[in-house]
Structure formats: structure tokens, C-alpha cells
Amino acid sequence: MANFDFRTCSISGLKIDKASENLVRWNLIAAFATLAVGGLFALLVALTRWPSVHLLPLEFYYRFLTLHGIDALLAWIIFFEIALVHFTSAVLLGTRSYVPWLGWLAFALMLIGGGVINVIVLLGKADVMFTSYVPLKADPIYYLGVILFAVGALLGFIIFFINVILSKRDGGYKRSLPLGVFGLGAASIIAVLTLLHGAGIFVPTLLWSMNLIPNVDPSAYRLVFWGLGHSSQQINVCAMVSVWYMTSAFVVGGKPVNEKLSRTAFVLYILFINIASEHHLLVDPVLSTWHKIVNTSYMMHLAVLASMIHAFAIPASMEVALREQGYTRGLFEWVKKAPWSNPAFSGIAISILLFGFLGGITGVIFGTEQFNIIRHNTWAITGHFHGTVVAGTTIAFMGFTYLLIPYIFKRELIWKGFATIQPYLYGVGVAILSIGMMSAGAFGIPRRHYDVTFSGAPFSFTFDPAVDMFMSMMGVGAVLAVLGGVLYILIAFGSVIFGKEVQ
Amino acid sequence: MHAERNDGPVPGGQTFYDNIILLLILGIVVPTLVYTVWGLVEIMNVPKLPIVP
């Protein structure tokens, strides 16, 4: 390893090789950029669903909604996760990136794929929404873009396995992977399965769109698509929990109270969390009740058990670490003295709280067959996954960015005061947005719909007037969240470009 | 992060958790069988709508 270009981070003490550093940096930069684009689409979509604003014309609303999902749900999060793959499998193990060329190939494919999708949707050649359910047919280039992005992501996650196996050979670790790396390993395993499902459904759909095969069975499409669509969110859950553990360790010196239990929880994710894809099919008439019940009521709750373990293990690790630092007065001095002004810490604290109470609990409720029939395809579901993916994963990743900028970019944060309030502003905004969506959904407001007043429709229908308040609540929350998001983007890019260099 | 202990015999559970390739295989096989393959078999067994001449 002496031939490779390593440096030692003066803040974290991490040994970082140049190739890994560059891969982490560029994947993070791509993540920041795609979040900026996805966030802009989020604002435009939210201002359209807010009835008193109703901003966009019809066709742009649906196109921007699709791109909001592509850029903010897939691109931002997966670019960040690939950065985490390089950070954990090389930097945290103190070894080098063994296949940097593969990392750059993966990066290029994701960048090209993401760009192709954005252009083709904006051109109006893929008005099939995010789910692109057949027999809705888009231009073949759209499916090609999705496949390029997915193959790039798959290669990116495969790098994790190559790095950890070769790192063990070279003595990077002896027996067990550190817990944060193990968590990203679990995320990478889920990612491989997820992206194989993506290939399994988008390759035949591409051939169908080119008229090379006669049809794709819509039921089979829905089944396999959600093996990609929902499972990609399980990669996020796993990576997010891993970030919780790592941030606790870096910021307060937290160590899991029972590491075996935390690892067991990750293994439960590996085996059972992907099965939560069945949520989307609970009202599907094709599949049997047994398939639905086994995949949700039985298997999925083993993954929920894992989340419950992490939900107690991580705050407990913080409590133990802070008590060891002397904050032992009463039951809660450790809470009071926790570093709430450190945005990395407040980011994961807010992420844990909101993910648990907004995203997690509602996910379990909506995942039961009886309740799913009432809430399916209402805005309550959108409120649920904004509680998981945005209030959970995105805020955790934002918090971790405040550690990665000095560690990887060797820059101090600019606007430290704004950075302190950013996770709170974003968290409050997303919480209001999510609760607004779930409350409106409880009154039957459909998800995705352009105009719930149904103006110009041949039949009239009026929702309970209470929905106006909840939809406006969503709009106010969205504006606050976008302000928090703009602050994050400015601080991230500003620190990378103008931040004082860390010696 | 979280120093590992390399002394003493390796418990069976730890051997299992340390085998990332075994976890990868199980992580692909279990959901594929329980969700995807089972679902596809059910879809293939749905009787086709009879075509009325």
C-alpha cells in the first residue's frame, strides 16, 4: 500500500487515499446538484398542489412531479450512498479504493442516465409518471436512461464488496467489519437485489417500447417494478441507520451498547426489509391473500423489529457516551448537554425522531392490508414516504455532509450560524408538510392529482372543507423545507468552493 | 469506529455475520423466493379471460 497516495485527516485521524477521496467528492457534488434540481421541482409541484396557488399548467405539473421523484428520491440519495460506499469501504477501513476505474465508470453511467431521463421527460416524450406502469409507453430513450442509471448504481454498490474483500486480504481489518461499514454492507446487499429487479423489468420494457417484443404483462410489471421501486427506499433506510451510528461515533464518541444486537438488526434488514415492496400490491386483485399476508404482516415486521432495535440502540449509545463525559446529573442532563448546535448531531437527532414518529409508524400502519385499502393511493401515502425518505434519510445525509466537508474536502463550513439552524428549519418544514399530506389523505385527497377541485369535470365532487387547511399546511411546510434545502445547498457548495482550508 | 476484538474463539453467529458474501446470497435468495418468484408463479396461474367469438 506504500505506493498509493494516502493522507491523514487532521480532524478525524482517518487515513484517506487520493482515489477514494476524489470518488467521494465527485459523488457528493453530484448529489448536491441533483438535490438542488429535485428541490426546485419540489417547490413548483408543492405550489401547484397548494389550491390557493395552483402554479403550473397541467402537463408541466406531471413532468416536474416525475422529475422531482427522479432527482430528489433517486439521484440525490443514490449519489450520496455511492459516496458512502467509497467512504466506508475504503476510508473507514484505512485502505485504498481497489477499483477506482470502476467507480468512475459507475459515476459516469449514473450521470449520463440521470441526464438522459431529465431531458427526455422535459421534452414530453415520457409522460408515464415515475412508476411508468405498462401499458403506458415512453420513448425507448427514457427506459435506456433508467437502465444506464441503474447499471451505474449497481456497479457502484458492487465496489463495496470488492473493496472489503481485498481490504481484508491486505489487513485493513482482521475479523469483523466496523459497524458503520457493516451497515453500508447491508445497504449494498439490498441494493444489488433492488437493481437486479430494475434490470429484470426495465430491459423487457425497453424491448417492448422498441416493438421488439409484443407486450409486458402489467401484473408482472407491477410486481417486479416494486421490487425496484420500494426496495430502493430500503437501501436508504439501511444507509441512513448506518449514518446514524457513524455520526454518533464521530460526534459524541458513541459506541453501540450491544454491537451483536445492532448487527442482528442489520441482518434482519438484509433478509426481510425488501419484502415491504408488497405494500404497493395490497389492493392488487391478482395476487393471493397469502402472498400479501406473508410478505407484509409476517415478514415485513421482522424488518420493523430491526428498526425498533436501532431506534433504541443509537440514542442509548449517545447517552452512554455523554454520561462517560460527565453529564450524569439526573436522568436527562446528557440530553441537555448534547451538542445541539452541531448540525451533524442535530441532523441525526431530528432524523431519528421524524423517521420514527412520522415515517416508520405510518409505514407499519399503511402496510397492513385492512388499513391499506382505506389509504391506498391517497396523499397519506405521500406524507408517509416524505416522513421516511425526506425527514429521515435526507436530513441524516445533510447532517453527515457537515462532517464529510472537513474530512473529505478539507474545508471548514461557511456560515456556521446558518448551518446550525439548517437541520431545524428543514426538519420543521418537512414535518409540517408530511403531517399536512397525511391529514389531507385521511380525508381522501388522492396522491399526484393535479386538481382536486375537479374543475371542468363532467361530474362534481367536493371534499370536506377541512382539506383546504391541510393542503395549505403542506404548502407552508414545503416552502420552509425548500428554504432549509436552499441553505443546505449554499452551505455545501459554498464550503467546498470558498471554505477555509483545513490544515 | 468500534474497535474489533481479535482474541479468543469466534462465535458461530459472528462467523455468519462476518461472511459478507453469504449474507449477499441470502439477501438475494430469500426476498426473491418469497416475494418475486412466488408472485410470478401466482400471476402465471391466473386463468386467461376466455375469448368470446
Give chain A's domain count.
1
pLDDT at B7: 63
C-alpha cell at A236: 436508504
Tell me if A343 is assigned to some domain: no
Note down the domain range covering A458: 371-503
pLDDT at B5: 55
* DSSP structural state of residue A332: T
**Does B52 lie at the interface with A, CB-CB under 8 angstroms?**
no
pLDDT at B4: 53
User: Which residues are within 8 A (CB) of A11 and not within 5 positions of it... i.e. 6 or more apart?
Assistant: A406, A407, A502
Tell me if A237 is assigned to some domain: no
Nearest to A267 among B2, B17, B40 (CB): B17
Residue contact B23–A186, C-beta within 8 A? yes
* A196 interaction partners in chain B (CB closer than 8 Å): 28
Tell me if A486 is assigned to some domain: yes
pLDDT at B1: 57
User: Which residues are within 8 A (CB) of B12 and not within 5 positions of it... i.e. 6 or more apart?
Assistant: none
Name the CA dihedral angle for B16, B19, B25, B31, rounded to a multiple of 10 degrees.
50
Tell me if A6 is assigned to some domain: no
**Does A185 lie at the interface with B, CB-CB under 8 angstroms?**
yes
pLDDT at A1: 47
- Name the residue among A174, A344, A249 with its Cα closest to residue A12: A249
Residue contact B31–A271, C-beta within 8 A? yes
Band (B6; pLDDT cuts 50, 70, 90): low
Q: Are A191 and A237 in contact (CB under 8 A)?
A: no
Tell me if A137 is assigned to some domain: no
Tell me if A309 is assigned to some domain: no
Residue contact A270–B26, C-beta within 8 A? yes
| Angstroms from A223 CA to nearest CA on chain B | 7
Total CB pairs under 8 A between chain A and B? 109
Could you list the mean pLDDT of each consecutive 10-residue stretch along chain A, which spans 503 residues?
Answer: 77 93 98 98 96 92 96 96 96 93 98 97 95 95 97 97 94 89 96 94 97 95 94 92 96 93 94 84 91 83 90 95 95 96 97 94 87 90 96 97 97 97 98 97 94 87 93 97 98 97 86
Left, alpha or beta for A445 (phi > 0: left; psi -120 to 50: alpha)? beta
Q: What is the ipTM of this complex?
A: 0.92
Tell me if A410 is assigned to some domain: yes
- Name the residue among A146, A225, A149, A241 with its Cα closest to residue A187: A241
**Does B1 lie at the interface with A, CB-CB under 8 angstroms?**
yes
Residue B22 three-state SS: helix
C-alpha cell at B51: 375469448
| Angstroms from B9 CA to nearest CA on chain A | 11
pLDDT at A3: 63
**Does A220 lie at the interface with B, CB-CB under 8 angstroms?**
yes
Q: Report the DSSP pairing between strands A15-17 and A6-8.
A: antiparallel
Rg of chain B taking only CA atoms, in angstroms = 22
Residue contact B31–A275, C-beta within 8 A? yes
What mean pLDDT is reported for chain B?
86
pLDDT per residue over A421-431, tens digit each?
999 999 999 99
The amino acid at residue A368 is T
Best B23, B35, B38 residue to mutate vs chain A (most A CBs within 10 Å): B35
Tell me if A457 is assigned to some domain: yes
- On the CB side of A283, CA atoms within 13 Å amount to 11
